[in-house]
Structure 1
Amino acid sequence: MGLQQLSSHPFILLRTVCFAALLGAQAYFPSESAAQLSDSDRARLVSQIRYDASQITEDRFPDLELAKQDVTEKIDAVRKFMLAQRSQSNGQAWLDYLDLAPLSEALQSDSLSDVARSAIDVRFRLIGNIEGLEMSSLTRLRSSIEKLLAAIRFRDGEKAAEQLGKQLESLAERIEAMDQIPSAEDAAALSALVSLLEESQQVRGVVASIREVFGRPNVAIFVGESAIQQAVNRDVNRSRPIRDCILGTRIIGEAYTTGFVTANLLPSIGAARIQVSLNADVSTRSTGYNGPVKLRTTGNAQVSATRTLNINESGVTMDPAFATASLNTEITAIEHKLKLVRRIARKKAAEQKPKADRIAVERMRQQVGEEFAQQTREASGMETPNISQKIAPTLNRLSLVDPARLWGSTDDALFVDTTLRRNDQISTTVSRPPISVAYDAAIQIQESVVDNALGPFLAGRTVNEAMINDLLAESGRPVEKKESEDAEPPFEIDFARLQPIVFEARDGAIRFGVRGTRFAQGERELKVPMEITATYRPAMTPEGHAILIRDADVNVDFPGRKRLSVSQAGLKRTIQKRFDEVFPESLLQREIEVPQTVEIEAIRGRQYRAHHIDSRDGWLTIAVH
């Protein structure tokens, strides 16, 4: 811990497709159902809210003294753990970074404002993609601090009960008036209240009901059947020697096989199903030796084999292979120096031919089936990538949970439906829209994903310009500053505690930005709620690629304020100018190239470009080919 011959084989290619799918991002709901907020769900939620509001009691709010005691114990546990490290310098470096002393001292004082301020500071240091923050002693301390902050928020039981009851009644009225497809504002308000209700330890029924109704998948990843077929479908053209013995006749010859291997997706839920098929014609030319007699024969056969592969995060399982064969043979010549022997041999061959053909067909069927089974078995011989294990450390560092995932397939695509949310978060009640174009791969993201993923990390945090530039650089888009003769001091912004990130996908546009409570640059400071957003709209390039183009101006709004002072208005222009550099004028204009270091041969070095962008009902869809 620290602060700081086979390369073109169709079945080998099939293996790489399976592996690629396993690396793709689990409850599934068919998009065709077009699920929305139904009248029955609306009535059930309102009834549950009003019932639970009548059950609020002061004694069920978090106990402040117990919460303070628990944090003290967790701090002691962290100190003991770090000081017991084999590398004492490393353990001390962690303690220096965490800086737990101010919180420990505040917990012994009577100042709850000092406790809250110190607790928030430590919590910020406990969330971030820093290797080691996933250690259990640190995640337990973070969880304890979050419970302490909730206990501080609800410390006055009588007042908290009254306010919570009012918020629940307001929530019931909001749900009664909510559209079948909730607006972005409604969804954001609902998400914020669910978080508050979860912290209160009250109205568990309301939280469970809302999470059930607003619990549909909010991310979907697709691999189109055409992409799978491009990697798997192959012509078969080969020859092999024949060495056999049927009814006492030794057979030597050559078999020529021409055909093709194809892959087709099958509808399935719980695992993606790929049916791999071989269809081929086999022509044979052989000589049979029975004593002194030679039989010249030709044959034509049709062979087929199929096998279904089932793919999910557990790996690849396979149904039994099934093979068929049909054969027509013709004796073209019987050779012997005596005519009588040839006549007897012809009669004997005619008598034995039906039985010999049946034996030959069965042997061909078995041989094709065994070879096909062996080749397809190679596709399941890979080491299954444990997605949860790979992403768990990062999720723990960022105070997120492993998203639920479900694999499946339709006639047209392999998909993984994913639900990303914590216990105090919701996803959506609106099912993903259908994708109206063909694609090699596609992704659909619902609005809730962005706040669920970034909210725990950014909520209430102070971020400066350098940090924003670092984040953008890590995402692959360094900020290209516009040249200016006047060097301005860097800025910093305090993110809002609720919904710090704005992400809306509605009516063909994407609105993206941040919500803040303070903006400062040098000695100038603006402490008011603000929204800084940019709106992007899909467009097509002359080459047929889809990109997102930003509306001309970055929007800076101050909700609830009608008028700003002269100095505040000047700072608004500064905010607009600085974030004009943060929000690029276009997105998705670059091609996506799979690195040459990727082990999956079928996609190594391939380049993809977006060719379809859709934004509606809270869903952003991007399809590439």
Structure 2
Amino acid sequence: IIDPLGIRSEPACATCTTNSVIDSISAGDRIGSRMIERIAWKKAGQQKGQVEQISSRRAEQRIAQRMDEQSNERIGTTNYRWETELREPMRKRGNYPRAVSIWSSPDRLHLTAVQGQNSQLAAPTAPPAAPTDNLSVQVHQSLIANTAVNTIGGMTITDERAQELVMELTGDVPEELKIKQDEDPWSITFDLQQPVAVSFNDNQVRIAIRGRKFVRGNQVVRQTTQIAANYQLQIADGRVQLVRQGDIDVSYPDKDGDRLSLTELRNKTFLTNKFEGLFKKELTGEGLKLPDQWANLKDLALGYAAADNGWLSLGWQ
């Protein structure tokens, strides 16, 4: 039984059937041995069914007990990892889903989750028909927005912390984000309500980061600043790939066409150059690799990718 708390099992049930065959009964060469053997054969025939039934029940108990011991050990390990590697870290960060449902059909295991606090809006529409691949994932754009609000909304990140985060997420720091001795330190304070926004439409993915304050050296910009990039969604060698359409767009939404100050213009140029390393011209996923215990099987290859009406749908074979 799988539910949001983990995996549970019912006691194992085993059915065994014992068939016994008596090859011979010997009473030796003593006097009356033949009579003794005839009586023994008759007695054995009368008790054969009862003995087989007792043997079957004992075998069932041994096998069921062994199954319970083996399954409990594996389930315990799985539940421990589920709790320590997923549930607890997400709860600490405040982004564990507020609702999780798990159920199964004859050939699939299904999981749905609603991400966000009670005051946050989730998907207003149902997802499109799910891909029929071996593994399918459908994500609404609100999941990313709500997670970002709960995780980094209002947070200030310095250039050093930004470098650390990119290293943790990607294993590499782009040249544009590396700290240089001849550059002033900088920091960005994320917007409280919409620090990150992602939209899925017409197989396009738009990613936008929004800050409410930007500091560079002794210069401070207290204007809402948005850094955004548009990508085309496609499949490359069985992996998801995003290809940037045009240049990075750095804008000040609250200015609404007003003339920018010299500091704002310099800030815009600086952010464009810095985030060139984050919003690369091509972003390619690493693909899905099966666990070590299934190393003899082929890795899953992405065969379906669509982004429309706020939903991202992916399918692997």
Give the CA deviation at 1:581.
0.8
SS of corresponding position for 1:575: helix
Deviations 1:19-50 (A, max 9, x none): xxxxxxxxxxxxxxxxxxxxxxxxxxxxxxxx
Query: What aligned pairs does 1:277-292 form with structure 2 within 5 A after superposition?
Result: none
Q: Matches of 1:610 and 1:519 in 2, distance apart?
A: 41
Shift in CA distance, 352/461, structure 1 to aligned 2, threshold 3 Å: closer
Aligned-pair distance for 1:437?
0.6
Instruction: Tell me: CA distance 1:479–1:421, structure 2 relative to 1, closer, same or farther (3 Å).
Output: same
Corresponding residue SS for 2:207: strand
Q: Which residue of 2 aligns with 1:447?
A: 141
Deviation per CA, 1:433-458, whole angstroms, max 9, x where unpaired? 4232113xx65433222232221443
2:68 to 377, 395, 413: 377
- Asked whether the 8 Å contact 1:534–1:550 carries over to 2, the reply is no
Structure 2 residue aligned with 1:549: 242
The match for 1:321 among 7, 13, 22 is 13
Question: Structure 1 or 2: larger helix share?
Answer: 1
Amino acid corresponding to residue 173 of structure 2 in structure 1:
V
Alpha-carbon separation, structure 2, partners of 1:476 and 1:607:
24
Q: How does 1:139-538 map to 2 (within 5 A)?
A: 271-272=1-2, 313=5, 315-319=7-11, 321-325=13-17, 327=19, 356=48, 358-359=49-50, 361-363=52-54, 365-378=56-69, 379-381=71-73, 382=76, 385=80, 387=83, 391=87, 395-396=91-92, 398=93, 403-433=98-128, 434-439=130-135, 443-481=137-175, 488-522=183-217, 527-538=222-233
Is residue 588 from structure 1 mapped to residue 278 from structure 2 by the alignment? no
Question: How far 1:604 sits from its partner (Å)?
Answer: 9.5
Gaps of 5+ in 1: 1-270, 273-310, 595-600
* Separation (CA, whole Å) in 2 of partners of 1:486 and 1:616: 44
Maintained 8 Å contact 1:428/1:448: yes
Structure 1 365/330 Cα, relative in aligned 2: closer, same or farther at 3 Å? closer
Contact 2:289 2:300 in 1 (8 A): yes
Q: How many residues align?
A: 302
Specify the alignment match of 1:579 in structure 2.
Answer: 275
From the superposition, tell whether residues 313 and 374 of structure 1 become closer, same or farther in structure 2 (CA, over 3 Å).
Answer: same
Per the TM alignment, residue 331 of structure 1 is displaced from its structure 2 partner at its CA by 7.5
State the distance in 1 between where 2:25 and 2:132 align. Answer: 64
The one-letter code of the counterpart of 2:286 is Q
SS in 1 for 2:286: coil
Give the distance between the partners of 1:574 and 1:365, measured in 2 at CA: 79
Q: Is the 8 A contact 1:508 1:616 kept in 2?
A: yes
Identity score, percent: 17
Q: 1:536, 1:548 within 8 Å by CA — same for their partners in 2?
A: no
Deviations 1:227-286 (A, max 9, x none): xxxxxxxxxxxxxxxxxxxxxxxxxxxxxxxxxxxxxxxxxxxx43xxxxxxxxxxxxxx
1:493-526 deviations in Å (ceiling 9; x for gaps): 3322321111223333332231233445446665
Spell out, residue by residue over 1:319-365, the C-alpha distance to the aligned partner (whole angstroms, 9 max, x if none): 551415375x7778899999xx99x9799969966973x44653454
Assess, with a 3 A threshold, how the Cα gap between structure 1 residues 430 and 413 changes in structure 2: closer, same or farther: same
Aligned to 1:618: 310
Matched residue type, 2:285: L
Give the Å deviation of 1:540: 3.3
Q: Structure 1, residues 57-110: CA drift from partner, whole Å, max 9, x if none?
A: xxxxxxxxxxxxxxxxxxxxxxxxxxxxxxxxxxxxxxxxxxxxxxxxxxxxxx
CA shift, 1:318, in A, is: 0.6
AA at the equivalent of 2:236: T
The secondary structure found in structure 1 opposite 2:187 is strand
Question: Contact between 2:25 and 2:40, CA under 8 Å: does it hold in 1?
Answer: no
Deviation at residue 577 of structure 1 after TM alignment: 2.1
Q: Indicate if the aligned counterparts of 1:425 and 1:452 stay in contact, CA closer than 8 A.
A: yes
Q: Which amino acid in the other structure matches residue 224 of structure 2?
A: P
Deviation at 1:468, TM superposition (A): 1.8
TM-score norm. by structure 1 comes to 0.39
